[in-house]
């Protein structure tokens, strides 16, 4: 099963993916997380991606497509894609690659939320550098301040691209280049499952699960 989760920066894509993978037995493939691991490991790809990420621009399509096709193959085509595809070129390449392997996208979920809400969410985000768990200084605090609930790692950190000027650039990039991906899927005749993401985390998860289950039952 391949699920694509779309939405602007800070819509809650990562948060929701982590909550649905067990239910549907999927591997969570976040293009942003993979790029951050490449950077931390000092790979060529990580070095090439750095300046784009830090300025809120998209990493070039060819680098991303190669990286994600490799990750999807490793996941044996059973995955939820978070942050990919982010351009129409990436979406078309993903379709081609899946077709080559006799696979298709089973569902496209689109998290809908206003820019003014996500700016506040992103500036309050804190992540665990050890296990990647994501928190928020107001809406999702760890049980003990500064310590990760999951791995007990210390010093939750703020992402380098979570500064106000970079957030504004990421939102601009989303509206200019990524929002068209929703149109790509509707034009292709597929159903896009719209979900109002400006609600409590549990309510958003419940609606995503309900919509995915209805889609699976209808097949």
Smallest separation, CB 73 to ligand AP5 (Å): 17
Q: Taking CB under 6 A as the criterion, which residues in 46-65 touch ligand AP5?
A: 52-53, 56-59, 64
Q: Which of 57, 159, 163, 199 is catalytic?
A: 159
Cβ-proximal residue to ligand AP5, closest one: 32
86 is catalytic: yes
Q: Is 136 in the site for ligand AP5 (CB under 6 A)?
A: yes
In angstroms, the CA 5 to CA 86 distance is 11
13 is catalytic: yes
Q: How far is CA 24 from CA 3, 20, 150, 166, 213, in A?
A: 10, 6, 21, 34, 9
Q: By CB under 6 A, which span of 79-87, 144-152, 180-188, 206-214 interacts with ligand AP5?
A: 79-87
In angstroms, the CA 82 to CA 132 distance is 14
In angstroms, the CA 145 to CA 86 distance is 34
Q: Is 4 in the site for ligand AP5 (CB under 6 A)?
A: no
Pick from 71, 75, 192, 201: which binds ligand AP5 (CB under 6 A)? 201
Residues sharing a CB contact under 8 Å with residue 93, sequence separation 6 or more, in sequence order: 61, 65, 69, 85
57 is catalytic: no
């Amino acid at each position: 099963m391949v699920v694509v989760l779309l939405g602007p920066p800070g819509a809650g894509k990562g948060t929701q993916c982590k909550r649905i993978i067990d239910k549907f037995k999927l591997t969570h493939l976040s293009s942003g997380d993979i790029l951050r691991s490449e950077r931390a490991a000092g790979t060529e790809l990580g070095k090439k991606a750095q300046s784009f990420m830090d300025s809120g621009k998209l990493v070039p399509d060819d680098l991303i497509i190669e990286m994600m096709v490799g990750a999807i193959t490793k996941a044996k085509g059973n995955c939820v894609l978070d942050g990919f595809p982010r351009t129409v070129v990436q979406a078309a390449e993903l379709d081609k690659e899946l077709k080559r392997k006799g696979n298709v996208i089973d569902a496209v979920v689109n998290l809908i939320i206003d820019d003014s809400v996500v700016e506040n969410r992103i500036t309050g985000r804190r992540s665990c550098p050890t296990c990647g768990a994501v928190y928020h200084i107001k809406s999702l605090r760890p049980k003990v301040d500064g310590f990760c609930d999951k791995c007990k790692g210390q010093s939750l950190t703020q992402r380098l691209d979570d500064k106000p000027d970079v957030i504004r650039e990421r939102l601009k990039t989303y509206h200019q280049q990524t929002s068209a991906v929703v149109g790509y899927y509707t034009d292709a005749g597929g159903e896009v499952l719209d979900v109002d993401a400006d609600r409590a985390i549990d309510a958003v998860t419940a609606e995503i699960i309900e919509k995915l289950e209805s889609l699976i039952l209808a097949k």
